[in-house]
Amino acid sequence: MTGPARASAGFADVAYDEAMRRARALVPALRERAARAEDGRQMPAETLEDLHRTGLFRFHQPRRWGGMELAFVALFDVPAEIARGCASTGWNVANLGVHHWMLALYDERAQEEVWSKNPDALIASGIAYPQGSGRRVDGGLVINGFWNFSSGVDASDWNMLAVMVREGDRVVDHRMCLVPRSDYEIVDDWNVMGMRSTGSKSVRAKDLFVPEYRALSMYLARGGSQFPGARVNANPLYQVPLAALGSHCLAGAGVGNAQAALELTIEAIRERSTSYTAMRMRDFPAVQLRVARAGVMVDTARLVIRADCLEADRIAREPRVPTIEEKLRFKRNVAYAMELCTEAVDTLHALAGANGIYDRYPIQRLFRDQHTLAAHIGFSWDAQGGPWALVALGGEFSSPVM
């Protein structure tokens, strides 16, 4: 096959430690570019070049296509490190990177179609199933829809668009449809409070035919090896349930952003005196306690999310499919972890005092980014906390994609 042979000179020999070193090395440049990237409302060209050059979009792409195929926990660790430099870039590395993982679940023909032409190809997504509709026709589906929050779409060659497939009024399937850039319209409506350089514009498709092999049923991605790509991608990392841990990669942006807020605050306070008493801020016990509390919240969030990733990987290698209670616990945990990160950033922003209102002071951007990313449905405590408790208390919870 031409695809794997072409990709053999890619990143298959890059191990976890080296990937993390590459991510860490980009942090200073990403911090320097962050304000300009925000003004441009998408990742700068030099950032895209850096990420392609280092292979950091390809942390979960199969090795047979030149990807790193790292352990599952890299899905969180790589974006979290990148987000120390820029939360929006961390978000896009997570989002675009996890789509390589998802493409590995598709029929081998879909993988060949994308990666044989360009193993560096980027794939955006529109993940809200109710925003898309599909009907079965000979050889595939015809889909229609308008999907918002398609992060990194300007730089992407493909998109994964979620649809509910109906027969009459009855929903019979949930599909993630892989479509090329030429088949959908980008709608420039990304004018938002924070996370501006994710470029999360909307996309529209009308009466679009998608062949069956490019329309993955999410009922086959609930854990285990039932997905079409299992024949060629046997690594257990691809058997982790998508809906249960799909938000853990994006949580890397929140943890990395909160870590950056902590680092920048510590750096500022080390040298800062108050304007009225000339006392050093570091000598105030209240300041010390706020910084300490923020630090432990960030560390706790990181530990919780990493523990989920490690446990999900262990379960996949047993091998078995997690129970519904385990899946809901993963979703509960990531939502709580993001609450901790948001509280940490709020605490640190308050410490900035009047400096925190100036555009030139980075903490205001980190504050806006944190509250924007925390609005993701996967991080909503109200949405994610209750279902686990319901099941733990003996009730029943049903979701077709779980």
Place 2 in a pLDDT band, splitting at 50, 70 and 90.
Answer: very low
Contact 176, 160 (CB under 8 A): yes
Cβ atoms of residues 77 and 84 within 8 Å? no
Measure the CA–CA gap between 118 and 76, rounded to whole angstroms. 25
pLDDT (mean) for 192-216: 97
| Average pLDDT over all residues of the chain | 93
pLDDT of residue 357: 76
- What's the pTM? 0.93
Using one digit for the tens of pLDDT, what is the confidence trace for 184-194? 999 999 999 99
pLDDT of residue 6: 39
pLDDT at residue 276 in the model: 53
Burial track 120-156 (b if 16+ CB lie within 10 A, e otherwise) = bbbbbbbbbbebbbbeeeeebbbbbbebebbbbbbbb
* pLDDT band for position 294 (cuts 50, 70, 90): very high
Please state, in angstroms and rounded to a whole number, the distance separating the CA atoms of residues 402 and 391: 14
pLDDT in the model for residue 64:
96
Residue 4 has a pLDDT of 41
Closest by alpha carbon to 322, among 231, 244, 205? 244
3-state secondary structure of 162: strand
Residue 164 · residue 56 · CB < 8 Å: no
Percent pLDDT > 90 in the chain is: 88
Residue 1 scores a pLDDT above 50: no
* Predicted local distance difference test score (pLDDT) of residue 135: 96
| Spatial separation of the C-alpha atoms in residues 216 and 225, rounded to whole Å | 14
**What pLDDT band is residue 30 in, cutting at 50, 70 and 90?**
very high
Cα dihedral: 231, 228, 73, 376 (round 10)? 170
- Cα 175 to Cα 205: distance, rounded to the nearest angstrom: 15
Amino acid at 243: A
| Inter-residue contact 78 to 252 (CB < 8 Å) | yes
| pLDDT exceeds cutoff 50 at 239 | yes
Burial 300-333 (b: 16+ CB within 10 A, else e): ebbebbbebbebbbebbeeeebbebebbbbbbbb
pLDDT at 278 over 90: no
- Give the residue from 187, 214, 218 showing the smallest Cα distance to 200: 187
Average pLDDT in the 254-283 region?
A: 82
For each of the domains in the chain, give its residue range(s) and CATH number, in order of start. Answer: 7-115 (1.10.540.10), 123-218 (2.40.110.10), 242-392 (1.20.140.10)
Q: Is the pLDDT of residue 322 over 50?
A: yes
Q: What is the mean pLDDT of residues 285-299?
A: 94
pLDDT value at residue 273: 55
| 165 closest CA partner among 139, 209, 129, 202 | 129
DSSP secondary structure code for residue 301 in this structure: H
Environment class of residue 169 by beta-carbon count within 10 Å: exposed (0-12), middle (13-18) or buried (19+)? Answer: exposed
pLDDT for res 272 = 66
pLDDT in tens, 94-131: 999 999 999 999 999 999 999 999 999 999 999 999 99
Give Cα separations from 203 to 28, 134, 150, 212 (angstroms).
33, 16, 7, 21
Q: Is the pLDDT of residue 344 over 70?
A: yes
Three-point CA angle 143, 123, 53, nearest 5°: 170
